[in-house]
Amino acid sequence: MAINRTPVLKRCRSLDLDPIYLGIAKKSKRKNQRANKKISEYGLQLREKQKAKFIYGVLEKPFHNYYEKADRMKGMTGENLMIMLESRLDNVVFRLGFARTRQEARQIVDHKHVLVNGKQVNIPSYLVKAGDEIEIKEKCKGSARYKAIAEMTGGRLVPEWLDADLENLKGMVKELPTRDMIDVPVNEMLIVELYSK
């Protein structure tokens, strides 16, 4: 599997992105040297795509597949794309507060700690549906790791389309999110313009 080993804060700086969207509370003290350079229209579109890929931890080929699928669906392609990315299992685990970052959420899913409707699912890209119940396996709930995560993510706001029970490490997808419910700073219209060239 391909792994991007670029330091997170460096990547955030280059994409002009606040690390808080990744679940990281650190701030970079350096300034972006290229901040005052004029960016072309293509450059802006590419930056938005890279931002979305980086936030959700998706590589180029799967991201393009999401775009193709979103394009075939009814409604606006950009909104469909963002809704699909937001309803990935690793992202939902992060949003429920069962992980500090999306990368950690991906690892938790990979390590078979997550049950969806009582069945073990270890595919981070699994798309959840409205009414799905997500919980951490019973034997993992007591571990020190999840106690530390619950302490750290306790104050985090859970989106309105999810229902979380941090004490029992359970959650439910009340409904699929609309674009207004997704607080990610990505202009999906630029991504659609980039792919429709």
Do 171 and 94 share a domain, yes or no? yes
Do 141 and 67 share a domain, yes or no? no
Query: Within a domain: residue 135?
Result: yes
Query: Within a domain: residue 20?
Result: yes
Could you give the maximum distance between any two Cα atoms of the chain, in Å?
A: 54
Do 105 and 27 share a domain, yes or no? no
Do 78 and 95 share a domain, yes or no? no
- Per the CB < 8 A criterion, the answer to whether 182 and 82 are in contact is yes
CA distance 115 to 137: 6
Query: Within a domain: residue 70?
Result: yes
Query: Within a domain: residue 3?
Result: no
Query: Within a domain: residue 148?
Result: yes
Query: Within a domain: residue 1?
Result: no
Name the domain count of the chain.
2
- Per the CB < 8 A criterion, the answer to whether 122 and 137 are in contact is no
Q: What is the pLDDT along the chain (197 residues), one digit of tens a residue?
A: 567 777 878 888 888 787 777 777 776 666 655 556 788 999 999 999 999 999 999 999 999 999 999 999 999 999 999 999 999 999 999 999 999 889 999 999 999 999 999 999 999 999 999 999 999 999 888 888 888 888 888 777 889 999 988 888 999 999 999 989 898 889 999 999 999 87
CATH of the domain at 95: 3.10.290.10
Do 94 and 172 share a domain, yes or no? yes
Do 63 and 104 share a domain, yes or no? no
Residue that the structure tokens 């794309």 belong to: 81
Query: Within a domain: residue 47?
Result: yes
Which residues form the domain of 67?
8-85+185-195
Take residue 39 and report the two structure tokens written for it: 């960016």
Q: Three-class SS of residue 76? A: coil
Do 133 and 102 share a domain, yes or no? yes
Residue 59 CB partners (closer than 8 Å, separation 6+) = 2, 53
Do 106 and 172 share a domain, yes or no? yes
Do 107 and 72 share a domain, yes or no? no
Do 95 and 68 share a domain, yes or no? no
Take residue 82 and report the two structure tokens written for it: 């963002």
Do 93 and 161 share a domain, yes or no? yes
Do 93 and 166 share a domain, yes or no? yes
